[in-house]
Structure 1
Amino acid sequence: MPRPFLVLTDFTAAADTALRYAADLAKPLGASLVLLHIRRESLLDPDAFMGTIRHLTEGEVAAALEERTRGLAVPVTVESTADGIEAAVSDAVRRHQPSLVVLGKPDTEETPDELVSSTSLKLLRATRTPLLVVPISHTAQVPPQRITIAADDLPFSLKPQTEAIRELLGQLQPTITVEHVVEPEDRDDCTASRDAVLKSGLTAEISQVRTHGVRHLHTVHGILQGAAETHADLLLVVARRRSFLGQLFNRSVTSQVILHGRLPMLLLPALE
């Protein structure tokens, strides 16, 4: 039986988008969902800074959960918590052992950078579980048929928690492209990056892995450019330990990709 997806909701439009995406992804895989209600002030919500959040009663929470799960084509378990996001998600991950955690991302143009980046990366730090960030405005196909992997040219190992992602790729059999960003004056050869991905075992069940080099002054913009050029439905980012354990979250490449990305983004915590 496939491990479930843990989907976080605060009943906002961004969370609803993430729930629909998770259900559409889970259905062909035969996976179930665990829908965990988190208080809005704990998630990516600019209203938390404005003091305009209306706190819901237990009855209102139950009704909102029922409304969102009604008609979904996959089994769903619902839970609600009053804990902070890190404690709540860590507890749910321990109990349900999900293959990934799914988080909706609102339009972040007016949201403080620190809120967006630190929430996502703190979840990686707390759970070491793959994190799928779904932007509210995405138009990507679900399940994804084209996945672009952003990787540097250094070897990495994946944590045991990412094993389910290798299996997921094997079931979906998407077109996989490894992209690597270099300075404009450098060779955009992707051999080392591709070798690093292959040696990690992530694409062990994929017969062919393509490459795509990008020359750009700014790594983040180059990653997003490469995803567009390869017509990706999903951007997979290998998040190295230094990316999500540092204190200055908003300065890491991973967090900047989360901030500016418009595709669904799957973050995989890697060992150096």
Structure 2
Amino acid sequence: MPAPFLVLTDFTAPADDALRYAAALAQPLGAALVLLHIRRESLLDPDAFMGKIRHLTEGEVAAALAERTRELAVPVTVEMTADSIASAVADAVKRHRPSLLILGKPDTQTTPDELVSSTTLTLLRATRTPLLVIPAGSPMAVPPQRVSIAADGHSFSLKPQTEAIRDLLGQLQPTLTVVHVVEPEDRDDCTAARQAVLQSGLTTEVPQVATHGVRHLRIYQGILQGAAETHADLLLVVARRRSFLGQLFNRSITSQVILHGRLPLLVLPALE
């Protein structure tokens, strides 16, 4: 049986969207879900930093979990904990070994970048597991038919935890496009970027990989532009070790794509 998807919920609308996306993605793959609610903390919720979180009783939490799982067409294991986000997610990953960690992201345009980035950084640090972020209001094309992969032309190796993503792409057989962004005065040739993706083994199970070059002054905006121009319904980015462990995460391209992207975003942690 395929590894399950670990879905985080705080009972907000974006979290509910993420749960629906996870169930729709899991069904054709034969995967189960683990739905985790972390009490007393909110995921990517600006109210968490302003003392406005509503504290639910155990009965209210149980009722909310039951309401959200009652009509799902895939097997679901429900858990709740009062640990910190990092500890709770790390423990769940250790016990269930999920192929994906999935969460919803509210509209953060009015939220300081540092708050959103720090939460994402915490999850990547705690799990090193592929992270699927579902922004509020993003299109719900599930399973995805067109996937864009952002690549910079530098070689990368993926962690063993990402092998399930290669298999997932093989099962779904989406249209894959490598998006490569350069500054306006440079050549937007994608040969090196495509070769880096192929050598990583990520696309081994997909026979055709197209390319799309974009010229833009800001790399993250170019990536988002390329995803739009290729009509992607899922954007995949590779987070290098320095991006999610370093102190400059808030300035990284991966972080900016997470902050400002409107598409479902799959973040894969690299070895280096």
TM range (shorter): over 0.9
The answer to whether the 8 Å contact 2:170/2:205 transfers is yes
Q: Distance in 2 between matches of 1:40 and 1:190?
A: 46
Q: Does structure 1 retain, via aligned residues, the 8 Å contact 2:103–2:133?
A: yes
**By how many angstroms is 1:42 displaced?**
3.9
| Structure 2 equivalent of residue 175 of structure 1 | 175
Question: Mapping of 1:101-250 within 5 angstroms?
Answer: 101-250=101-250
* Cα distance in 1 for residues equivalent to 2:87 and 2:152: 32
2:59 aligns to what? 59
Residues 10 and 40, structure 1, Cα contact 8 Å, conserved in 2: no
Mean Cα displacement is larger for which, 224-233 or 50-59? 50-59
Post-superposition offset of 1:246: 1.1
Deviation at 1:172, TM superposition (A): 0.1
Tell whether 2:268 aligns with 1:256. no
How far 1:119 moved relative to its partner? Answer: 1.0
Q: Hey, what's the Cα distance between the residues in 2 that align with 1:245 and 1:50?
A: 26
Provide, for residues 30-64 of structure 1, a one-character-per-residue CA deviation record: whole Å limited to 9, x for no partner: 10000000136341111112322110111111000
Mapped partners of 1:210, 1:267: distance in 2:
20
| 1:155 to partner: Cα distance | 0.6
The answer to whether the 8 A contact 1:100-1:132 is kept is: yes
**Where does the alignment leave 5 or more consecutive residues of structure 2 unmatched?**
none
Compute the TM-score of the two structures, normalised by the length of structure 2: 0.98
Structure 1, unmatched stretches of 5+, are none
State the secondary structure of the residue aligned to 1:181: strand
- Within the alignment, does 1:270 sit opposite 2:256 as a pair? no
Say whether the 8 Å CA contact 2:21–2:140 is kept in structure 1: no
Q: Relative to structure 1, is the Cα distance of residues 55 and 218 closer, same or farther in structure 2, using a 3 angstrom cutoff?
A: same
Instruction: Decide whether the 8 Å contact of 1:42 with 1:84 is kept in 2.
Output: no
Aligned to 1:47: 47
1:100 touches 1:131 (CA, 8 Å); kept in 2? yes
User: In structure 2, what is the Cα distance between the partners aligned to 1:12 and 1:190?
Assistant: 40
* Contact persistence 1:151–1:197 (CA under 8 A): yes
Q: How far apart, in 2, do the equivalents of 1:52 and 1:107 lie?
A: 17
The amino acid that maps onto 1:105 is: K
C-alpha separation in 2, matches of 1:74 and 1:267: 24
2:52 and 2:42 map into 1 onto residues whose CA distance is 14
Q: TM-score, normalised by structure 1?
A: 0.98
Counterparts of 1:26 and 1:112 in 2: how far apart (Å)?
33
Partner Cα separation in structure 2 for residue 212 and residue 267 of structure 1: 20
Percentage identity across paired residues of the two chains: 81
Per-residue deviation, 1:137: 0.7
Between stretches 215-224 and 47-56, larger displacement belongs to 47-56
Residue in 1 aligned with 2:23? Answer: 23
Q: Identify the residue that residue 96 of structure 1 maps to in structure 2.
A: 96
Flag as ranges the 4+ runs of structure 1 deviating above 2 A.
39-42
Q: Secondary structure at the match of 1:244?
A: helix
Kindly tell me: are residues 16 and 198 of structure 1, through their superposed partners in 2, closer, same or farther at Cα, counting changes over 3 Å? same
Q: Report the RMSD for the aligned CA atoms in angstroms.
A: 0.9
